[in-house]
Amino acid sequence: MSEWPVEIIRFSQRSVPIFIHLAAAGKGMAPFICRGYGYRLDTESDWIWLYILKSQWLRLHDYMKHGREMSALLTSGIDNESYQFKGRFIDSRPLTKKDVFILEEQYSWVTGHIPGLAPVIHVSPSECMAVGLQIRSVFLQTPGPGTGSLVMERGVK
Amino acid sequence: MMLPTELMPLFEGALPSCLVTSSAEGIPNIANLTRVWHAESHFVAIANQMLNKTYRNLIENPLALLKIINPRDFIQWEISVRYIRSEYEGSLFEHIKQDIETISWMAGVPLSAELRSVVVFEVTSVRQCIEEAIHLKPAPETYGDLLHVLAAVHEWHRLSFWIPAENDRDVKLKASRGVPGAGVDAGAFDMMKRLAMLVKSKQRIIRLRNIRSQLRYLHSIHTEPQEQKDKPMIPVTETTPSSCLAFPIRSFHTLIGIICCEDASGQMKAIHSIEDRYLVYLGEKLGETLLTISTVPAQEREALFRQVIELARLQWEKEADPFHSSLSARERQVAINVAKGYTNAEIAKQLFISLRTVTTHLERIYQKLNVPSRAALTRYVMEKGLLKENS
C-alpha cells in the first residue's frame, strides 16, 4: 500500500476549483496537452485518475505509440497552489459513480468561483473517460521560492 | 506570417497559461505562466523568472506547446512554438520587465523572482481547442439574435436558421424572421427547408432567381402526377418568393448551420449583390462564433454578431482589392518597396532582379491598380494599410 505525502492529501481535499492539464510527449516531437475535468487520487496505490474528454483521448492515444510518460499539472483556481505529477500511463476506463460525483463537485466549485468558466467545463460524464497514471514523482509548482522542488518520489514497477 | 487578430486578447494576461515542453527522452513537463507576450509578427515571448526544467527541455527539444485561455469565452487555444533564443537585455526584455514590475507594484507584492531572461518562440501553428467546446449549445434565442443582426446589416427581411440533423439528410428550424405564415401555415417553411436540405447535401451556397416563373413552368409541364411522398410539389402562391439564397455556416470545416433568405417585395438586389466569397467568410466567422457563444452574456450577443459580420466584410474587401486579386506576389513586393521609399536600383538589388524587370513590374502595377505615378502608388499602399500588412 502506498501513501501520498501529507501536502498532496491536503491539496486533494480542498474544496476549490482545480485547473487540470495532462501532457504527453514523444522523442523529438512537439508535446501534447489537454484539459482535465476532474481527478482522483487512489489512496490504495500510487495511481492518479484524471478525467478527460474522449475526443482528447483519441489524440492522446496517438502519443502512446511513442511512449507512456505523462505529466499532470493540478493548479488551484483560487491561489495557484499547484503540483506536477509525473508518471506512466497505466490504464483507461469509463467514469464510475464516484468519478461522476467528483466531476459534479468540480463543476459546483467552478460555478461558485469562476462562473464564466462553468459552461466550458460542464461536460457530460458520458463524454469523458478516466486516464490512470502510476506516479513516479510529484513536484511543487506553486509560484515562489520552492517552485520545482520534489514533494514525492518513488520507483515505478 | 502574422498572427490572426482574434488571438490578441490571449496575450493580455487575463488568465494563467501553461507551457508544455519535452525532454530528449520524451518526458513532458508543464509550467504555469502568468502571461505570454506577443513579441512581433509570428513571435511570442515568456518571462523566465523561475524556469528550470522547462529551460533545460527547450535546449534538448525546441518544440513546445502553449495553451492559453481566451478571456472572452474561456476556450483554450493551442499555440505550437519553436524555441528560438533567450534575450537578457534589449527592448523586449525591458518591456516585459517593466510589465512585471508594474503589476508587482500595483499588487503591493514583491517580485517572487527577478527576470532572468526573456524566452522567444516562433509560432508554427495556432489552433482553437474546439473539441473542448463541442458540448456547448447556444441558447435558443441566439439564432434569433443572429437573424436580427443580419436583417439590420444586410436588409434581408425573410430569414431562417437551420441546423443539420445528425443522422439523416433532414434539417431542423431554429429561428426565423419575417417569414409569411410562420406559426400559422404548416407549409410556410417548405421552400426554405428544401433549400436548407440542398445546402446540407451539396455543402455549398445556393442561389435561385426568378423562382415563381420557373416553378410555374415546371408545374405546367407535369402532365402526370409525379409527386413524391417526402417531397410534395411546392405550389406558387402570393407569398412565394421570386428569389432566394442559402449558405452554409461552418465551424472548422464542419457544417453546423444553414441560413436561408428569401426576397420580400423585390429585394433581389439586397440578396444577390452579395458575393459568394463574402458569404464563405461570413459562414466561417459565424460558425466559429456560434461554437463558443454560449459563454457570452446574452446582452453582448448582438454586438458580437455585428463585430463578426464587420470582420468578414473587411476580410472580403481586403481580398477583393486589386492589390491582392490582380497583382502577382512579385509585383506586390515591388509596390511595397516603392512605398517604403526605395529607388528602382535598390529594389532590384533587394529582390535579386534586374533594373529593367523592376521597371516592367512598375508599369504593370500602375496599369493594374490604375495609379498614374510613384507617388500615387505610395499613397495607395499607405492608405490601405498594405505596408504594415506585408512587413
Q: A31-87: per-residue pLDDT in tens?
A: 999 999 999 999 888 999 999 998 888 888 888 877 789 999 999 999 989 999 999
Residue B19, pLDDT score: 96
Q: Domain B137-320: give its CATH code.
A: 3.30.450.40
State the smallest CA–CA distance between residue A150 and chain B in angstroms. Answer: 12
Residues B5-132, CATH architecture: Roll (2.30)
Q: Are residues A30 and B63, on separate chains, in Cβ contact within 8 Å?
A: yes
Cell of B224: 402526370
Domain layout of chain B by residue ranges:
5-132, 137-320, 322-389
Is residue A80 left, alpha or beta, with left meaning phi > 0 and alpha meaning psi from -120 to 50? left
Distance, in Å, from the CA atom of B304 to the CA atom of B75, rounded to the nearest integer, reads 16
Residue A33, pLDDT score: 94
Residues B322-389, CATH architecture: Orthogonal Bundle (1.10)
Q: Are residues A30 and B65, on separate chains, in Cβ contact within 8 Å?
A: yes
Distance, in Å, from the CA atom of B114 to the CA atom of B119, rounded to the nearest integer, reads 14
Cell of B384: 490601405
Q: Residue A103: which pLDDT band, with cuts at 50, 70 and 90?
A: very high
Residue B230, pLDDT score: 60
**pLDDT score of A1 more than 50:** no
Chain B residues with CB under 8 Å of A60 CB are none
Helices (H), chain B: 53-60, 91-107, 141-154, 190-202, 211-221, 268-272, 276-292, 301-320, 322-325, 329-339, 344-351, 355-369, 374-383, 386-390
Q: Residue A92: which pLDDT band, with cuts at 50, 70 and 90?
A: very high
Residues A6-152, CATH architecture: Roll (2.30)
Chain A residues with CB under 8 Å of B132 CB are 34-35, 53, 56, 120
Provide the total of helices (H) and of strands (E) in chain B, helices listed first. 14, 12
In order, the DSSP letters of A4-69 are --HHHHHHHT--S-EEEEEEE--TTSPPEEEEE-EEEE-TTSSEEEEEEEHHHHHHHHHHGGG--E
Residues of chain B with pLDDT under 50: 391
> Cβ atoms within 10 A of the Cβ of B286, count?
25
Is the entire prediction scored with pTM above 0.80?
A: no
Q: Are residues B22 and A145, on separate chains, in Cβ contact within 8 Å?
A: no
Q: Are residues A73 and B61, on separate chains, in Cβ contact within 8 Å?
A: no
The residue among B70, B54, B188 whose CA lies nearest residue B127 is: B70
Domain layout of chain A by residue ranges:
6-152
Q: Residue A157: which pLDDT band, with cuts at 50, 70 and 90?
A: very low
Residue B183, pLDDT score: 81
Select the residue of B23, B26, B50 nearest A66 (Cβ to Cβ).
Answer: B26
Would you call B112 an interface residue with chain A, using a CB distance cutoff of 8 Å? yes
Q: How many residues does chain B have?
A: 391
**pLDDT score of A2 more than 60:** no
Distance, in Å, from the CA atom of B13 to the CA atom of B47, rounded to the nearest integer, reads 12
